[in-house]
Amino acid sequence: MSTQSARRIDIYDYVQPPTCISCGKLIVAGERAVSFYCPQCGVAVIWRCSKCRSQITSYTCPNCGFTGP
């Protein structure tokens, strides 16, 4: 078990399941969610659940702060 003493943003964190960037919901297996790299910095991976994707909810990149549809 890991501790939370040194929490940091890690884009290559395979332990944590992906969460929707817009609503924070966990992305479950089988869901038609999408993931893509931030169009501005190309570093952070943006996850969006099927609901936010269909509603075109805006997101904010955790790396560079880019906001987009």
Nearest by Cα to 38 from 14, 50, 25, 21: 21
Q: Taking a C-beta distance cutoff of 8 angstroms, is the pair 22, 12 a contact?
A: no
Residue 49 sits in the site that holds Zn ion (CB under 5 A): yes
Interface with Zn ion, residue 38, by CB under 5 A: yes
Q: Does 60 bind Zn ion (CB under 5 A)?
A: no
Which of 17, 55, 64, 67 forms a contact with Zn ion (CB under 5 A)?
64
Binding site residues, Zn ion, CB under 5 A: 20, 22-23, 38, 40-41, 44, 49, 52, 61, 63-64, 66
